[in-house]
Amino acid sequence: MATLTDLGERRAVQILLRTFDRGHIPGLGDDCGIIPFGDQYILLTTDVVYEKTHFPGGATPYDMGWYSVAVNLSDVAAMGGYPIAFVAALLLPRTTDVSFLQEIARGMDNCAKQFGMAVYGGDTKEGDSIAISGVAMGRVPRDKILLRLGCKPGDIVAVTGDIGRGAWAIEMIKHGGPNREALEALLHPIPRLEAGWTLSESGAVTSCIDNSDGLATTLHQIATANSMGFEIEESKLPIFGKLKLMTGQESTKSALYKGGDYELVVTLKPEAFESVQASLARRNLKLNMIGHVTKERGCLLVTSKGKEAIPDQGWEHFKVRTS
């Protein structure tokens, strides 16, 4: 009998999708579920964050609260959505200090307010460890929604911001212990809502996903959904500067296979890339071209030595971690 360790999170999700999908539920397999509502779609997403897997030593309850909201809003951003509401279920030991609970709530509230929504309540339960299950709701015009499906050969592949910020933070904490700068980078991600709105309005995006588990596995998810492939140029990867300084020649590997960035990975019509990039720049946002879509399946990294396969590796729950 197979276990979740044998399958990993993504294959487990496929089993769930086969159970739930009856051909009439849109959004299954995307970053958010989709509910038609007039000329809009209502977006629904949920994410559970758990003390033992998400919060390294030194993480504060405020960090935990912020993170639980931000990771859900990142899914809304990936579909071009505007936030509406957030609810959360908190699992806490009975010995939890009241001030700890208050700080979780303050982190959640401040993140929600910064991005134009409120926390509308939720649930609390007793448990042995801390876990926060968040649910975010958003909205997007039907004709502006961003999906994972839709890219074509020749489309440009691009990413907002840089990659490897999460990898740098993880390495800093792993080797140096609690570090406030690294904890901020890891647990205070900025959901790219404004970038998502700009990309949505452009009409030039052919697929979109948020990059939470590492660029490599993110690319494979889009490639699988579209039965396409990618050629990614190593020289164009916008690797976080501090990661380069820390890991040198290993920075590409770290940026590709470690998660925690929460940028948007998009494909765009090639003739529109420069205008979309300029639109984002006017909002002080970056869009970096990193490659293009290919008809041949598989993800390849183009280096100075030629082309090499990008394996489908990255953060994945249930899998045994070797590093």
Residue 322 has pLDDT above 50, yes or no: no
On whether residue 315 sits in a domain, the answer given is no
Structural contact between residues 210 and 258, judged by C-beta atoms closer than 8 angstroms: no
On whether residue 70 sits in a domain, the answer given is yes
The pLDDT assigned to 93 comes to 96
Q: Give dist(CA 243, CA 164) in Å, integer.
A: 6
The pLDDT assigned to 32 comes to 94
Instruction: Tell whether the torsion through CA atoms of 303, 228, 165 and 114 is positive or negative.
Output: positive
The last residue of a domain, from among 103, 119, 143? 143
Q: Hey, is 294 helix, strand or coil?
A: strand
Strands (E), 151-272: 156-160, 205-211, 229-233, 263-268
Both 67 and 163 in one domain: the answer is no
Structural contact between residues 56 and 178, judged by C-beta atoms closer than 8 angstroms: yes
* Mean of per-residue pLDDT scores for the chain: 91
The one-letter code for the residue type at 34 is: I
SS3 content of the chain, % helix, strand, coil (to 5): 40, 30, 30
Q: Is 0.85 surpassed by the pTM of this model? A: yes
Q: Convert the pLDDT of each residue in 177-187 to its tens digit.
A: 779 999 999 99
Both 161 and 68 in one domain: the answer is no
Residue 25 has pLDDT above 60, yes or no: no
On whether residue 279 sits in a domain, the answer given is yes
Tell me the average pLDDT across 56-84: 97
* Range(s) of the domain holding residue 212: 146-309
Pick from 77-91, 242-256, 305-319: least confident? 305-319
Q: Convert the pLDDT of each residue in 260-296 to its tens digit.
A: 999 999 999 999 999 999 999 999 999 999 999 999 9
Residue 24 has pLDDT above 60, yes or no: no
Both 125 and 180 in one domain: the answer is no
Q: Give dist(CA 73, CA 190) in Å, integer.
A: 9
Q: Domains in the chain: how many in total?
A: 2
Q: Convert the pLDDT of each residue in 212-226 to its tens digit.
A: 989 999 999 999 999
On whether residue 73 sits in a domain, the answer given is yes
What CATH code is carried by the domain that includes residue 270? 3.90.650.10
Q: Convert the pLDDT of each residue in 101-127 to its tens digit.
A: 999 999 999 999 999 999 999 999 999
The last residue of a domain, from among 108, 128, 143? 143
Both 173 and 249 in one domain: the answer is yes
The pLDDT assigned to 232 comes to 98
State what percent of residues in the chain have pLDDT above 90. 81
Residue 318 has pLDDT above 80, yes or no: no
The pLDDT assigned to 6 comes to 61
